[in-house]
């Protein structure tokens, strides 16, 4: 079976978790490259957050606003290094909570835009006071109702 082509609609260069990414509500974020990844290399990034007055800590806006009726799907690889759970959200629907210290490809398929909320990848805490510590790689957002293999933005 051959998989159809796709487009990762994240901004070019954002796979380094620095270009285009922003802290939120006073959170402090440190990004470290060269971390061990799930494929035996060192292509992952460590993200550590502290402070801030909101559960959202670190995010990238993809479409502002999302397009009403358009299906979006997001995915990335993540491993939680800390004690606090990490919520990963596209901001237009429910999130996925990551507690495992094992690499996992989280998938957020078929999140439908409403024309008012911003489509984004957001890393969130359960409580505004929580600090997050996780490794991550291969962020992807697609304009389709399902997930395909990773492609760079």
Q: Which of 53, 100, 64, 58 is nearest to 81 (CA)?
A: 100
Q: How far, in Å, CA of 7 to CA of 4, rounded?
A: 10
E strand spans, the chain: 22-23, 28-35, 44-50, 56-63, 71-80, 86-89, 96-98, 104-112, 119-124, 132-142
CA distance 4 to 145: 13
pLDDT of residue 3: 82
43-64 pLDDT, tens digit each: 999 999 999 999 999 999 999 9
Say how far apart CA 13 and CA 102 lie, in whole Å. 26
- 31 vs 2, 6, 35, 83, CA distance in Å? 36, 28, 10, 18
User: Each residue of 81-133: pLDDT tens digit?
Assistant: 999 999 999 999 989 999 999 999 999 999 999 999 999 999 999 999 999 99
């Amino acid at each position: 079976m051959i998989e159809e082509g796709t487009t990762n609609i994240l901004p070019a260069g954002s796979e380094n978790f620095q270009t285009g990414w922003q802290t939120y509500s006073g959170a402090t974020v440190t990004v470290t490259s060269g971390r061990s990844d799930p494929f035996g290399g060192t292509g992952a990034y460590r993200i550590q957050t502290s402070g801030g007055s909101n559960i959202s800590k670190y995010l990238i806006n993809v479409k502002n606003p999302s397009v009403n009726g358009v299906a979006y799907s997001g995915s990335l690889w993540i491993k939680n290094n800390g004690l606090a759970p990490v919520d990963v959200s596209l901001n237009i629907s429910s999130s996925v909570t990551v507690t495992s210290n094992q690499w996992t490809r989280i998938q957020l398929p078929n999140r439908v835009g409403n024309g008012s909320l911003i489509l984004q990848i957001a890393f969130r805490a359960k409580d505004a006071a929580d600090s997050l510590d996780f490794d991550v790689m291969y962020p992807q957002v697609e304009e389709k109702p399902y997930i395909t293999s990773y492609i760079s933005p």
